């Protein structure tokens, strides 16, 4: 089999980049309901017909952008050092947080927008898969097992807490450094979270 990739035509790269940039641009300015293929093409200075040569429709474009986002995030996670130190867990997350901070404009628009759930959905899936793998590899905390906590509930809880915190962090214009936030995660996991008289 020939795996020499054909090196895509620069025109394709250029067009897709222009379209994606235009989309992010528009998302900053208006609700997604108001964004049409017309507007995207106009903003990208690309003919509308050309849009359809690359994407079936806007949701299809968003799907593909979400694919790329997840790939980037996964790459950031994979670049992390192996877990060996006792602070390994926060270090892994740190790389992800730093990757997000480095591309803050993109992530703030895409994850912070109130009407683009595709992206948060995909990120949630990635993180919960990741949490799941680790739980299956290492098992749960003994005290959790003893207490009768269901594995799937722990996965739902943990991954939702992660992504929700990251999204809130972005929406609030990242008031903490990635390092500081990563430490907060470690502590939130390490300490019981509420007194018995609290909670919703």
Q: Rule CB under 8 A: which of 117-136 touch a second copy?
A: 117-118, 120-121, 124, 127, 130-131, 134-135
Residues in the chain: 200
50 lies in the binding site for DNA (CB under 7 A): yes
Please report how close the Cβ of residue 3 comes to a second copy at its closest, in angstroms.
32
Distances (CA, A) of 57 to 27, 54, 123: 16, 9, 22
Beta-carbon neighbour count of residue 77 at 10 Å? Answer: 16
Estimate to the nearest angstrom the gap between the alpha carbon of 189 and the chain centroid: 20
How many C-beta neighbours within 10 Å does residue 36 have? 12
* Binding to DNA in span 136-195, by CB under 7 A: none
Number of residues forming the site for a second copy (CB under 8 A)? 73
Residue 6 or 82 with smaller CB distance to a second copy:
82
| Interface positions, 128-187, toward a second copy (CB under 8 A) | 130-131, 134-135, 138, 141, 143-144, 147-150, 152-154, 156-165, 167-169, 172, 175-176, 181, 184-187
* Choice between 36 and 179, CB closer to DNA: 36
Contact at 8 Å (CB) between 136 and 54? no
What is d(CA 40, CA 37) in angstroms, rounded to the nearest whole number?
Answer: 5
Q: Does 24 bind DNA (CB under 7 A)?
A: no
| Residue 5 is a binding residue for DNA (CB under 7 A) | no
With beta carbons less than 8 A apart as the criterion, state whether 97 and 15 touch.
no
Identify whether the C-beta of residue 112 lies closer than 8 Å to the C-beta of residue 170. yes
95 interacts with, out of DNA, a second copy, none, CB within 5 to 8 A per kind: none
Say how far apart CA 181 and CA 166 lie, in whole Å: 9
Is residue 37 at the binding interface for DNA, with CB under 7 A as the rule?
yes
3 binds DNA (CB under 7 A): no
Partner that binds at residue 131, options a second copy, DNA, none, CB closer than 5 to 8 Å by kind: a second copy
Which of a second copy, DNA, none does residue 38 bind (CB under 5 to 8 Å by kind)? DNA
């Amino acid at each position: 089999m020939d795996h020499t990739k054909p090196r895509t035509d620069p025109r394709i790269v250029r067009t897709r980049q222009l379209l994606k940039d235009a989309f992010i641009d528009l998302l900053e300015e208006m609700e997604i309901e108001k964004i049409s293929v017309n507007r995207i093409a106009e903003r990208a200075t690309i003919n509308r017909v050309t849009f359809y040569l690359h994407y079936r429709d806007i949701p299809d474009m968003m799907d593909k952008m979400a694919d790329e986002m997840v790939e980037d995030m996964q790459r950031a996670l994979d670049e992390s050092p192996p877990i060996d130190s006792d602070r390994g867990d926060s270090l892994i997350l740190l790389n992800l947080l730093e990757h997000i901070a480095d591309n803050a404009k993109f992530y703030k628009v895409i994850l912070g927008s109130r009407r683009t759930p595709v992206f948060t959905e995909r990120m949630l899936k990635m993180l919960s898969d990741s949490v799941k793998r680790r739980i299956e590899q290492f098992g749960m905390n003994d005290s959790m097992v003893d207490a009768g906590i269901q594995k799937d509930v722990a996965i739902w809880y943990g991954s939702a807490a992660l992504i929700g915190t990251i999204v809130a962090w972005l929406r609030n214009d990242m008031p903490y450094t990635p390092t500081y936030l990563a430490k907060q995660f470690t502590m939130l996991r390490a300490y019981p979270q509420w007194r018995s008289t609290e909670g919703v």
